[in-house]
Structure 1
Amino acid sequence: MTRSLLQAVRPLAAAFLAVALGATGLSPVAAADAGPSPIALRSVTAQPAVPGVDADIRLLHHTMPGVGGRPVPATTLLLTPKGEPPAGGWPIVAWEHGTTTPGQKTCAPSQTPELDGGLTRDGFKSDYSWQIGRFIGAGYAVVAPDLEGLGPDATTPYPYYSLSSLARSLIAGVMAARAAEPRLSDRWAAVGHSDGGHGVLGVEALAGEATGLAFAGTVASAPYVAIEAHAARFGADGKAAPNEAAAHQGLMMQQFQGALMATGLTVTQPSFDEAAIMGSDLAATLPRFRSLCSVAAIGTIDAAVKTKGKAFEGLKADWASQPQMHAFLAANDPAVTPGYTLRQPALIVQGKADPFVLETLQTQFADKLKAGGAPLTYKVYDGADHFSVIRRADADVLDFLRQQFAR
């Protein structure tokens, strides 16, 4: 981010003052003053109330730096507490959602009443809107991007698992929010769950792109890391399972990891040949897999594995060693990225009973970070699973944010 970006954003902030103070209806503003900046606020749309979230809610239509190197359309929810802000403005919690889809743009937080891209609707009670309500109640503004390639304005594919894209979705959302709402603080923290937890682990390295803002720290809930290790563990558990149902579950979850990674890699490298890492049965599921929200997408692989059983032609044994996939994981999975570390305060929270992101692998990742000197607090919650960890860790998350914003 350069000085020219600030010069572009500040005029837009003034133009949106009426919206920030409660003007009604659509409030489109031309981005002519934004010049070539990759981040430009285009318009603001009032959003309906969300049960349990006592906030003013707006949808920001803006641009962000895309993985292809050019600005792309993006949308971000901005939720602000009602009433007047504290001195210095509302501190910003930049919040990133987990996997809502491998590639269907309508499976985005802004497009669903629970702010979770359809997870609750489809059977996974996410508690995302509950957590956002807790942040609002604590006096924070929440910036929640749909992510690059998701949401109503998206015109490019969703680059699933791209760490830089996930980080820049948050950064662009925060910059757009500051343009739309001058009553925001210049202090912000990143909070994410699952793949969003993975995404916020990439923010610190790029936080300097949010010119003029002070990054306070990171909270990652069940961050989705150690992909190759997860696939191997699920596969081994399936082979050692005591019954057919457990064996099927392990095999299906192993294939799910590879399908997600192949989807993300193909967006950034269209020349990638999926046959290099998988057999024909898994490859045949991918077109439909990518067109669905998460629960239905998992169901597509589940049904295909059930049909073929042990004869299912899926991930190859050395799938993660294929050169393009190996480079993709090394660049985007903090658990295997050479030299990856954190230098600012971070909190990772993990449920011990999580069936998707395994506690043992998360603990190995956290131990590696701490051994390297990262200022990390790591907490494990007995009995908590992938989603219930959000409520179980609530007090610890709020306490961590309070401490960082007080520094």
Structure 2
Amino acid sequence: MTEHVVPLGFDADAKLLVHTMPDVRGGQTPATTLLFVPKGTAPTGGWPIVAWAHGTSTPGQKTCAPSLTPELDGGLTRDGFPSDYVYQIGELLNAGYAVVAPDLEGLGAEAIGPYPYFGASSGARSLISAVKAGRLADPHLSNRYAAMGHSDGGHLALGVEAHADEASELELVGTVASVPYTSIAATADHFGEAARTATDGATASQARMMREFQGALMAVGLTAEKPAFDPRAVMGEDLARLLPEFRSLCSVKAIGTIDAAVKAKGEAFNGLKKDWASNSHMEAFLAANDPAASPDFTLRRPTLVVQGTADGFVLEPLTTAFVERLRGKGAPVTYKTYPGADHFSVIRSANADVLAFLREHFAR
């Protein structure tokens, strides 16, 4: 445990915790987590905890970690996607919550194994391990926590409930998923259709790139769990050749590698196969990790899902359909949409609703 730089405006103490967590292959691995604790006297029972998960900062480069960047986003803001993560964590601290923000398995200065991108169990255990490490580091933290995340972090937060009983000393009070990255195959299909029907070349190229991006992320995540998997089973040579570089970069530059290659070859780009998501290994990976692809996935604890209508990465119609399926199973999901909000502006748009949800469920 070491002191950490406190972002400007935080009235809090910050520490970098080095601990262990279960890894994706059944062992233990080093992990790093940022712990932020409000200054002042803890309330009776200790500071309630928000376990907060960041969005996609990289397909696989361990240095693209929140703890290594002042904006707490692994380079998103630096590379041109202002994340507003500092704002969100600051709002949580001002509301009286301690925040644990894990780098996630495979990310951060201490990481020694691969980053299992999109791995639901890995992400859930990263968050739970972060809560446990935070309580060991600071005796003034409560045993009650909420899971929360943005984009892929929102997807990971949705998976915590399934593993909450692995830490029986802790109480999960609820989950907040901000624009959760789910419905991957449907997202790829959407962009594929957009590319086919576009009336201008630039729009077609952008949509084509976004389709390839979905498959590249999933192939990288699958190979982290199953190194023997050959990505060429789901994609052509042009996209497969990009994967080593793609995996080694932070998010924005990783997207840029695919964008440049797609623009160079246009419709001739040999990328995702038409039936890529039906490959037996990929289908199993999506069923295990994408809650929208699992017929058995449901939630039993209070959950808030927030979604902007102008999000170009996580698509509102797909999130709405996913939430409707959950509600059809009786899941206690509150769903809020924000007209005109995009992938990052939704953080400020939803802030009041997020804080109200947390306040309500920590009070129970």
Cα distance in 2 between the residues matched to 1:78 and 1:128: 14
Q: Which runs of structure 2 are paired with 1:61-80 in the superposition (5 Å)?
A: 61-80=18-37
Per the alignment, residue 144 of structure 1 pairs with 101
Q: Give the distance between the partners of 1:131 and 1:394, measured in 2 at CA.
A: 8
Name the residue aligned to 2:7.
Answer: 50
Amino acid at match of 1:87: T
Q: What SS does the corresponding residue of 2:343 show, helix, strand or coil?
A: coil
Partner residue, 1:355: 312
Quote the residue 1:213 is aligned against.
Answer: 170
- Cα distance in 1 for residues equivalent to 2:158 and 2:64: 23
Partner of 1:329: 286
Please name the residue that 1:9 is paired with. none
Q: Does 1:169 align with 2:92?
A: no
Point out where structure 2 has 5 or more consecutive residues left out of the alignment: none
> Which of these residues, 160, 173, 178, is aligned with residue 117 of structure 2?
160
Q: Which residue of 1 aligns with 2:143?
A: 186
1:159-202 Cα shifts (integer Å, max 9, x gaps): 00000000000000000111111000111000100000000110
SS at match of 1:298: helix
Kept after mapping to 2: 8 A contact 1:52/1:130 = no
1:250-399 map, 5 Å: 250-399=207-356
Aligned partner of residue 379 in structure 1, secondary structure:
strand
SS in 2 for 1:142: strand
Q: Indicate the SS of the match to 2:73.
A: coil
For residues 207 and 390 of structure 1, the distance between their equivalents in structure 2, rounded to whole angstroms, comes to: 25
- C-alpha separation in 1, matches of 2:100 and 2:289: 23
Structure 1: 4+ residue segments shifted above 3 A: none
Is it true that 1:401 corresponds to 2:361 in the alignment?
Answer: no
Tell me, yes or no, if the aligned pair for 1:53 and 1:130 is still in contact at 8 Å. Answer: no
What percentage of residue pairs aligned between the two structures are identical? 65
Question: Post-superposition shift, 1:338?
Answer: 2.3
| Deviation (angstroms), 1:134 | 0.2
Q: Structure 1 CA distance, aligned partners of 2:6 and 2:157?
A: 26
Instruction: Please report the TM-score for the alignment, with normalisation by the length of structure 1.
Output: 0.89
Taking the aligned partners of 2:268 and 2:155, their CA distance within structure 1 comes to 33
In structure 1, what residue type is equivalent to 2:357? F
Once the two structures are superposed, residues 334-372 of structure 1 have per-residue CA deviations (whole angstroms, 9 ceiling, x without a partner) of: 001121000000000000000000001110001100111
Pick the aligned partner of 1:196 from 153, 167, 184.
153
Which has the greater radius of gyration?
1
SS in 1 for 2:292: coil
Q: Secondary structure at the match of 2:48?
A: strand
C-alpha distance after superposition, 1:205-257 (max 9, x if no partner): 10111221111000000000000000000010111111111000110000000
1:85 to 36, 42, 45: 42
The answer for the alignment partner of 1:101 in structure 2 is 58
Name the CA distance, whole Å, in 2 between partners of 1:210 and 1:286. 36
CA distance in 2, matches of 1:399, 1:201: 19
> Structure 2: how far apart are the matches of 1:208 and 1:51?
36
Query: 1:9-28, aligned counterparts within 5 Å?
Result: none
Secondary structure of the 1:68 match is coil
Q: Secondary structure at the match of 2:286?
A: helix
Cα shift readout 1:369-399 (whole Å, capped 9, x = no counterpart): 0111000000110000000000000000000
Matched residue pairs, number? 364
Other-structure match for 2:201: 244
